[in-house]
A and B are shown apart, each in its own frame.
Chain A
Amino acid sequence: MKVYVSRDMASVALGADDVARAFAEAGCDVVRTGSRGLFSIEPLVEVEMDDGRIGFGPVGPQDVAAVLDGSHASRLGRIEDLPFFAGQQRFTFARCGVIDPLSLSDYAAHGGWQGLEKARALAPQAVVDAVKASGLRGRGGAGFPTGIKWQTVLDAPSPTKFIVCNADEGDSGTFADRMLMEGDPYCLIEGMACAAHAVGASHGYIYIRSEYPFCIATMRAAIEASAHLVAPFELEVREGAGAYVCGEETALLDSIEGQRGQVRAKPPLPALQGLFGQPTVINNVLSLAAVPFILSEGPEAYAAVGFGRSRGTMPVQLAGNVKHGGLYEIGFGITLGELVNVIGGGTASGRPVRAVQVGGPLGAYFPPSMFHLPFDYEAFTQAGGLIGHAGITLFDDSVDMAHMARFAMEFCAAESCGKCTPCRIGSTRGVEIMDRIIGAREAAPTGGSEAVGGYLGKALYSRSPDRIDVSIEAQTMLLRDLADTMKYGSLCALGGFTPYPVLSALDYFPEDFGAPAPIKEAAE
């Protein structure tokens, strides 16, 4: 009997290897796939039965007999029919969880290589035009139109050009890149080969963070197995070394070149002078993996879904304290509240949702009063946040937002590349200010301005001990001033966006900073 068990890192972390072994020992033909993307049903086993692939999950190694005779209590039916999957529009993740990731025949049988075939039948300019027409915007977070970036590289006169895939997915709460590379690696390779044809590049790099060992192994194997299909285009994997800032595109280029991963000043744009000084397409995994669909199904099919200027689908990742966490690919425009409460099912702890952080460590914290926001680049920017890589991290009411603001500063201090002062020094000063605010709050929970003065104040700020006011009000003002400096003075998004989580925490959850709670609007 044929059964399917995921080999995705998340599934393995939940025990999928033991489950797969148990089924193999029972004489089953076990196919290891990627993950379907709903972690509350992992480890998931799908059994090929007369009425299709029937899912059971979560299951353990002791459940083999009950699963095989169909009597197991956690029988789910066809996975595609579950509400979590039925509502999705899987353009990029259509094959993920369905096929054996490294099987070339599986990939071809599920529509693989059709995009590349179409691309190669077209002139490079026509491929770039198709990507432009699709409205695809960079899925790494910045949302820059992918087609325009490609046009710049195509027009750049140089015999040597590069395609670089940014697979340094360091944002907490995001795992779409990881899932795609583990579950459908040829899709990314095909997207990169299309890009290479479009701009005239002959060599590509996939920069994967070292925290993703499964991805690195899968991509290396996939590159080797598909080399003859994408030739003369050549690909190689470069492993990161634990520096978050290398997710910033110019720091990533420096890292590939063998240097410290420090951010470069722009201009020159990487599209004109990128890797080794040559014109370089640098795109996120999801941007490149969207390309095969756009070419095989046509840009109109992709652009037909979406919201405003955000076209196509976004693989949203529901994370943190969430009941039904996982990957949900859907057209832009769905509201934040639908994603959190309906699809995610609220918190895993069963307590009320207090805050959600959208877009990783540099994204804003939103309270439930903002859940009407549509998932759209412009709407989020207007609300003082960002979609980023579309990770949504849920927190229940036990969260201390002052601690989360402090963590944002601490993270920035730990990960700053050190090139610009607002980020390098500002983040350290930010941690100190947050410590003072938390200290003052704990000394006087009602938030009196005399809470930490005199002797302690002098100890905390010895440089000009008689002039510094360490009251919550004064320190909060100092924090806002510092955030302003970091936002406008930093070289890249690390220092520039760290104020988003800090200020949103302060604005929406002032009671955690020792200030009175905001008056709730009637609309709530």
Chain B
Amino acid sequence: MEEFIAGWTVRHGATRDRLLPLLHAMQEEAGYIDDAWVPTIAKALNLSRADVHGVVTFYHDFRRTAPGRHVVKLCRAESCQARGGAAIEAAAAQRLGVAMGETRADGQVALEPVYCLGLCAIGPNALVDGRPVARIDAAALERIALEVAA
């Protein structure tokens, strides 16, 4: 990762305001931000380790452990709730065999909460490995389950 950080800062700069873009780039590359990389990031941007740790832990997007091979982000916000989101959430947890906010023990799939994808008239909605899916019902859930089993 040290090489990646060094290369990235050469291309994009090493000022403090580059911290979020760098973290996004690292997560894109590795899937998560390992605590062990924090000192290297801090050094590269001339920040304290506490500073970097504070930012990584503040934002919901940044993961500190490796994600599942597939990630299902299911919306929990009001508009999806108004369309039966809570029942779909319970059914998804049951069908995928993983609690909301967790990665399944075999690492195959993670079920993560998201608060609004901006598709609020056609919920319940999810991002399945980044692909938007709307109007999730039992049949759609089954398709998602088969997709992430692969």
Which of A's residues lie within 8 Å of B, judged by CB? 9-10, 12-14, 39-40, 42, 169-175, 177-178, 210-213, 238-244, 255-261, 276, 317-322, 325-326, 348, 357, 361, 391, 393-396, 399, 404, 407, 411, 414-415, 417
Q: Please indicate the chain A residues that have their CB under 8 angstroms from the CB of B59 in the complex.
A: 240-243, 260-261
Summed over the interface, the residue pairs from A and B with CB atoms below 8 Å come to a total of 150
Please report the C-alpha to C-alpha distance between residue A393 and residue B122 in the assembled complex, in whole angstroms.
12
Is B16's CB within 8 Å of the partner chain A? yes
The 3 closest A-B pairs by CB, nearest first: A325-B121, A172-B77, A319-B120
Stretch of B78-86, B90-98, B103-111, B142-150 lying at the A interface:
B78-86
Please report the C-alpha to C-alpha distance between residue A12 and residue B115 in the assembled complex, in whole angstroms.
19
Q: Please indicate the chain B residues that have their CB under 8 angstroms from the CB of A12 in the complex.
A: 132
Let me know if B121 and A319 touch, CB within 8 A: yes
Is B18's CB within 8 Å of the partner chain A? yes
Is B119's CB within 8 Å of the partner chain A? yes
Task: Kindly identify which residue among A42, A169, A258, A399 contacts B17, using a CB–CB cutoff of 8 Å.
Answer: A258
Let me know if A14 and B122 touch, CB within 8 A: yes
* In the complex with contacts A241-B20, A348-B83, A172-B132 CB distance below 8 A: no
Q: Please indicate the chain B residues that have their CB under 8 angstroms from the CB of A417 in the complex.
A: 58
* In the complex with contacts A172-B77, A361-B77, A256-B17 CB distance below 8 A: yes
A261 (CB) vs chain B CBs: closest residue:
B58
Which B37-59 residues have C-beta < 8 A from chain A?
Answer: 45, 54-55, 58-59
Instruction: Report 23 cross-chain contacts, Cβ distance below 8 Å, ordered by A residue.
Output: A10-B122, A14-B122, A14-B134, A14-B135, A40-B121, A169-B118, A172-B116, A173-B77, A178-B118, A211-B117, A241-B20, A242-B59, A242-B114, A243-B59, A258-B15, A258-B16, A318-B121, A319-B120, A325-B120, A393-B79, A399-B82, A411-B115, A417-B58
Q: How many residues of B contact A (CB 8 A)?
A: 42
Let me know if A13 and B20 touch, CB within 8 A: no
Q: Please indicate the chain B residues that have their CB under 8 angstroms from the CB of A212 in the complex.
A: 117-118
Let me know if A9 and B121 touch, CB within 8 A: no
Expressed in whole angstroms, the minimum distance between the Cβ of B150 and any Cβ of chain A is: 19
Let me know if A13 and B132 touch, CB within 8 A: yes
A394 (CB) vs chain B CBs: closest residue:
B82
* In the complex with contacts A174-B118, A241-B62, A326-B121, A13-B133 CB distance below 8 A: yes
Q: Please indicate the chain B residues that have their CB under 8 angstroms from the CB of A169 in the complex.
A: 118
Expressed in whole angstroms, the minimum distance between the Cβ of A276 and any Cβ of chain B is: 8
Let me know if B120 and A211 touch, CB within 8 A: no
- 16 additional A-B residue pairs with CB within 8 Å, beyond A42-B122, A242-B60, A361-B115: A13-B122, A13-B133, A39-B122, A172-B115, A174-B116, A174-B120, A175-B119, A211-B118, A213-B130, A241-B61, A255-B20, A276-B17, A394-B82, A411-B77, A411-B115, A415-B115
Let me know if A243 and B58 touch, CB within 8 A: yes
Q: Please indicate the chain A residues that have their CB under 8 angstroms from the CB of B81 in the complex.
A: 404, 407
Let me know if B55 and A258 touch, CB within 8 A: yes
Expressed in whole angstroms, the minimum distance between the Cβ of A296 and any Cβ of chain B is: 28
Expressed in whole angstroms, the minimum distance between the Cβ of A167 and any Cβ of chain B is: 11
* In the complex with contacts A10-B122, A258-B19, A320-B120, A239-B24 CB distance below 8 A: yes
Please report the C-alpha to C-alpha distance between residue A385 and residue B104 in the assembled complex, in whole angstroms.
42
Expressed in whole angstroms, the minimum distance between the Cβ of A362 and any Cβ of chain B is: 11
Let me know if B120 and A391 touch, CB within 8 A: yes
Let me know if A173 and B119 touch, CB within 8 A: no
Q: Please indicate the chain B residues that have their CB under 8 angstroms from the CB of A174 in the complex.
A: 116, 118, 120
Let me know if B60 and A243 touch, CB within 8 A: yes
* In the complex with contacts A170-B115, A175-B120, A318-B121, A257-B17 CB distance below 8 A: yes
